């Protein structure tokens, strides 16, 4: 498990020890996987849960053990020596309870403080992943659904990157399809100087989209021209290609404004990129017997699905599904991704189920459960609701402009901050830039955290009042908690870098030990959040961390106590881990409050 100096999570390290024990007891079964879990009872910190399963497996074959408890006893007895475990005890049907050595926990934390938080990066069994996220559609509005995808996708990418996975952050922009016919003809008709002035002239791209759609619906001759325009565009006619490019460019600039604000980095490979690959990919699927004729279209029937996946429309055109099949082929064969993750609303689950099933039938993805890679996952998420419980919209029942949403979060935060600083007479200590940066960090952080803290599958209600509350489970509360810890350290007047090198961390008080234990569980929490694609797991950890810290800080005096050095180290470790959580959640920490 040693991997570039990393030891893996505590669970992984314990698993290694228990694997050693199992190998000694059952030499004829070399691949027994240790089942290690955090202990929920008070008898230990972790537990090993293999005994029952093993006993029921060997019951008939061997008389060496009379019950699961004796299997547990044997597992515990044959553990290789290590400084990780203080003691073990066997409970009931063979659960091996594990008490970690407080000394080891403390050393582990000190080691992280000296070598940096990367020492606590989880070790995953995958090296290359594609995360397909954000993916708005050209000329249409980028809505709150795309915002969710952007936030969730960025966090998952960050967690995978932290775990040393090479991540391709893919923006699968909707930049191809029949809607471009009407857009281009509308551009030609109404903006004759589009090549020079396009951007200023078009102005509002969403209005532009709506206007061309109205004409398309109302005027049959326009509709006909639009349909021909699609053919000319796809045939590569220069004027049409250029107009298409122009429209994409304008959209892209708008999208980038949102990405810049959110600090999200993406690499665009839009639908058009995969277009040239479609014929070859469909030919392969056809040769393999997957594609059938149905109602004039070419389709793939999927077992258990009421409707087939249409891959060539009746008019001979390709669609969303044909593009996704080509993109999957490309990601597997050219980019050699082992894990491909798609982030969209749950409404698209059926589409992805069908695409993945087709890929399995084609032999692109393994069928057997024992073969783990390559694998694909659709990360679905629920709706964003307004306070009325309906789909989130602005007053005019228009879709919410994301940039305006971000602006509002920031300005509300700034007003709140200024008011508070005025009240406690500290406003004069702040530069304008500091105010701006803090308002941005807190405002955008609040939006991200409000989204990520819920299980992604549930709908969540967008409420500025809730997300900007400085009490409760919000980014505001957590960012302030972190800043407060930093100020404890600052006010101690001690040089924390010096203490990291020369000081010693001792977990004497019960609340110190609880905090220490929570800190060293960081790696396995990130691992779980990655493996199950659930960012809320990390949010929960972060919130608990701040609660556990508060308990410690209430019962243990830090500055001026006999244990000051050790406790400052514990404060610093908490701040470092909180910062890493913020970083993984795409939130910028603040240091001054």
CB of 328 to ligand ARG, least distance (A): 8
Contacts with ligand ARG by CB under 6 A: the residue count is 10
Given 157, 344, 521, 565, the residue binding ligand ARG (CB under 6 A): 344
Question: Residue 261 CA to chain centroid, in angstroms?
Answer: 18
Structural contact between residues 479 and 442, judged by C-beta atoms closer than 8 angstroms: yes
CB of 300 to ligand ARG, least distance (A): 16
Reduce the DSSP state of residue 403 to 3 states and report it. helix
CB of 282 to ligand ARG, least distance (A): 17
270 near ligand ARG, judged by CB under 6 A = no
Which CB atom, from 327 or from 400, has the smaller least distance to ligand ARG?
A: 327
CB of 293 to ligand ARG, least distance (A): 25
Q: What are phi and psi of 14, to 5 degrees?
A: -65, -40
CB of 290 to ligand ARG, least distance (A): 19
448 near ligand ARG, judged by CB under 6 A = no
Which own/partner contact pairs does 99-102 have at CB distance under 8 Å and 24+ positions apart?
A: 99/44, 99/45, 100/10, 100/45, 100/46, 100/517, 102/507, 102/513, 102/516
User: Quick one: which of 268, 262, 255 has its CA closest to 154?
Assistant: 262
141 near ligand ARG, judged by CB under 6 A = no
DSSP string, 24-49: HH-TT-TTPPP-EEE--STT-SEEE-
Which CB atom, from 109 or from 248, has the smaller least distance to ligand ARG?
A: 248
Which tokens hold the place of 196? 């020079």
Which CB atom, from 268 or from 564, has the smaller least distance to ligand ARG?
A: 268
Structural contact between residues 302 and 309, judged by C-beta atoms closer than 8 angstroms: yes
Residue 108 burial by Cβ neighbours in a 10 Å radius (0-12, 13-18, 19+) = buried
319 near ligand ARG, judged by CB under 6 A = no
132 near ligand ARG, judged by CB under 6 A = yes
Structural contact between residues 119 and 486, judged by C-beta atoms closer than 8 angstroms: no
CB of 374 to ligand ARG, least distance (A): 16
Which letter does DSSP use for residue 101 in this model?
P
172 near ligand ARG, judged by CB under 6 A = yes
* Rg of the chain on CA atoms, in Å: 28
Which CB atom, from 271 or from 440, has the smaller least distance to ligand ARG?
A: 271
User: Quick one: which of 160, 134, 161, 129 has its CA closest to 145?
Assistant: 134
380 near ligand ARG, judged by CB under 6 A = no
Residue 199: how many other CB atoms lie within 10 Å: 13
Judged by CB under 6 A, the stretch of 73-81, 133-141, 394-402, 404-412 that binds ligand ARG is: 133-141
Given 122, 174, 308, 380, the residue binding ligand ARG (CB under 6 A): 174
Residue with tokens 């999208």: 255
Given 324, 440, 511, 527, the residue binding ligand ARG (CB under 6 A): 324
Q: From residue 532 to residue 551, what is the string marking binding to ligand ARG with x (rule CB under 6 A)?
A: --------------------
DSSP string, 502-545: H------SHHHHHHHHHHHTHHHHHHHHHHTT-THHHHHHHHHH
Which CB atom, from 327 or from 499, has the smaller least distance to ligand ARG?
A: 327
135 near ligand ARG, judged by CB under 6 A = yes
Judged by CB under 6 A, the stretch of 3-11, 48-56, 134-142, 562-570 that binds ligand ARG is: 134-142
Which CB atom, from 14 or from 327, has the smaller least distance to ligand ARG?
A: 327
Which CB atom, from 137 or from 473, has the smaller least distance to ligand ARG?
A: 137
Given 222, 342, 543, 552, the residue binding ligand ARG (CB under 6 A): 342
- Summarize as ranges the residues that interact with ligand ARG (CB under 6 A): 132, 135-137, 172, 174, 324, 327, 342, 344
């Amino acid at each position: 498990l040693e991997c570039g100096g990393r030891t893996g999570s505590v669970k992984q390290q314990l698993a290694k020890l228990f694997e050693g024990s199992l190998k000694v007891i059952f030499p004829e079964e070399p691949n027994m996987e240790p089942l290690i879990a955090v202990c929920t009872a008070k008898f230990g910190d972790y537990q090993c849960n293999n005994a029952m399963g093993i006993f029921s497996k060997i019951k008939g074959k061997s008389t060496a053990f009379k019950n699961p408890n004796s299997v547990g006893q044997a597992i515990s007895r044959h553990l290789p020596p290590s400084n990780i475990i203080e003691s073990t005890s066997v409970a009931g049907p063979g659960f091996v309870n594990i008490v970690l050595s407080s000394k080891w926990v403390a050393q582990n934390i000190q080691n992280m403080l000296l070598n940096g938080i990367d020492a606590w990066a989880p070790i995953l069994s995958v090296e290359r992943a594609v995360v397909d996220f954000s993916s708005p559609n050209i000329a249409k509005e980028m809505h709150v659904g795309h915002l969710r995808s952007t936030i969730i996708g960025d966090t998952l990418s960050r967690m995978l990157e932290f775990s040393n996975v090479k991540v391709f952050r893919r923006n699968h922009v909707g930049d191809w399809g029949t809607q471009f016919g009407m857009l281009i003809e509308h551009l030609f008709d109404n903006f004759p100087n589009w090549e020079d002035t396009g951007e200023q002239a078009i102005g509002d791209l969403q209005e532009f989209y709506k206007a061309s759609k109205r004409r398309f619906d109302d005027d049959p001759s326009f509709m006909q021209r639009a349909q021909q325009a699609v053919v000319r565009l796809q045939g590569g006619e220069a004027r049409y290609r250029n107009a298409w490019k122009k429209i994409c460019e304008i959209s892209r600039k708008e999208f980038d404004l949102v990405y810049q604000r959110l600090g999200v980095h993406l690499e665009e490979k839009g639908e058009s990129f995969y277009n040239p690959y479609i014929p070859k990919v469909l030919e392969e699927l056809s040769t393999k017997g997957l594609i059938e004729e149905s109602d004039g279209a070419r389709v793939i029937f999927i077992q258990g699905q009421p409707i087939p996946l249409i891959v060539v429309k009746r008019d001979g055109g390709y669609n969303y599904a044909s593009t996704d099949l080509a993109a999957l082929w490309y990601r597997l064969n050219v980019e050699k991704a082992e894990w491909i993750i798609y982030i969209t609303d749950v409404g698209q689950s059926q589409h992805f189920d069908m695409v993945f099933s087709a890929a399995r039938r084609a032999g692109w993805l393994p069928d057997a459960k024992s073969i783990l890679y390559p694998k694909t996952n659709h990360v679905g998420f629920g709706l964003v609701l307004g306070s009325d419980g309906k789909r989130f919209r602005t007053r005019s029942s228009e879709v919410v402009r994301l940039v305006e949403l971000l602006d509002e979060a920031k300005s509300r935060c700034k007003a709140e901050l200024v008011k508070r600083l005025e009240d406690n007479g500290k406003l004069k200590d702040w530069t304008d830039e500091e105010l701006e940066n803090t308002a941005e960090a807190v405002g955008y952080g609040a939006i991200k955290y409000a989204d990520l803290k819920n299980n992604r599958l549930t709908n969540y209600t967008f409420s500025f009042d809730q997300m900007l509350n400085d009490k409760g489970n919000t980014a505001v509360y957590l960012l302030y908690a972190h800043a407060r810890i930093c100020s404890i350290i600052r006010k101690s007047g001690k040089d924390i870098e010096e203490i990291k090198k020369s000081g010693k961390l001792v977990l004497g008080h019960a609340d110190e030990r609880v905090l220490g234990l929570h800190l060293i569980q960081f790696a396995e929490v990130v691992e779980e959040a990655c493996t199950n694609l659930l960012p809320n797991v990390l949010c929960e950890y972060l919130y608990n961390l701040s609660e556990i810290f508060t308990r410690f800080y209430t019962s243990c005096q830090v500055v001026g106590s006999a244990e000051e050095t050790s406790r400052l180290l514990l404060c610093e470790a908490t701040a470092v881990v909180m910062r890493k959580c913020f970083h993984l959640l795409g939130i910028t920490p603040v240091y001054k409050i």
